[in-house]
């Protein structure tokens, strides 16, 4: 089954404790992206990757890192999480080009205390 898999689904952590949210897709998509979703603010792009070893900042990259060492994986790293990073996070992937839709994972709900 074609899918984007995120782990974990739920995560509660404390301020300053480094964490990684994993994302993997099995559709051989070139483009991958991370979004956060907050009430009243909608989906905002954090980082994206056009292909292996090619990453770039989205609209809200502060406090986050990413890497793309393999085509299928695109982990999101929070080196020193803060409470304002409490949010619902989504990984997504798509074929590059006109009109191809983003395929989303089921989300990771992160709480930073």
Partner 1 sequence: EDQVTQSPEALRLQEGESSSLNCSYTVSGLRGLFWYRQDPGKGPEFLFTLYSAGEEKEKERLKATLTKKESFLHITAPKPEDSATYLCAVQAQGGSEKLVFGKGTKLTVNP
Cβ neighbourhood burial of 62 (10 Å; 0-12, 13-18, 19+): exposed
Q: Output the smallest distance, CB 14 to partner 1, in A.
A: 23
Distance CA 75, CA 26 (A): 15
Cβ proximity to partner 1, 1 vs 82, nearer residue: 1
The CA radius of gyration of the chain, in Å to the nearest whole number, is 13
Q: Output the smallest distance, CB 37 to partner 1, in A.
A: 9
Q: Output the smallest distance, CB 61 to partner 1, in A.
A: 13
Cβ proximity to partner 1, 11 vs 43, nearer residue: 43
Q: Output the smallest distance, CB 49 to partner 1, in A.
A: 10
Cβ proximity to partner 1, 3 vs 67, nearer residue: 3
Residues engaged in binding partner 1 (CB under 8 A): 4, 31, 33, 40-43, 45, 48, 50, 58, 88, 90, 92, 94, 96, 98-107, 109
| Beta-carbon count within 10 A of 65 CB | 14
Cα 69 → chain centroid: 15
Name which of 113, 107, 110 is nearest 34 in CA terms. Answer: 107
């Amino acid at each position: 089954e074609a899918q984007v898999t995120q782990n974990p689904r739920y995560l509660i952590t404390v301020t300053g404790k480094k964490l990684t949210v994993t994302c993997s897709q099995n559709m051989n998509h070139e483009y991958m992206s991370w979004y956060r979703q907050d009430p009243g603010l909608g989906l905002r792009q954090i980082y994206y990757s056009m292909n292996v070893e090619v990453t770039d900042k989205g609209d809200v990259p502060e406090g986050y890192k990413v890497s793309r060492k393999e085509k299928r994986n695109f982990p999101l790293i929070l080196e020193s999480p803060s409470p304002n990073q409490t949010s619902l996070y989504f990984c997504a992937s798509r074929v590059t080009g006109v009109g191809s839709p983003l395929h989303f994972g089921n989300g990771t709900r992160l709480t930073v205390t």
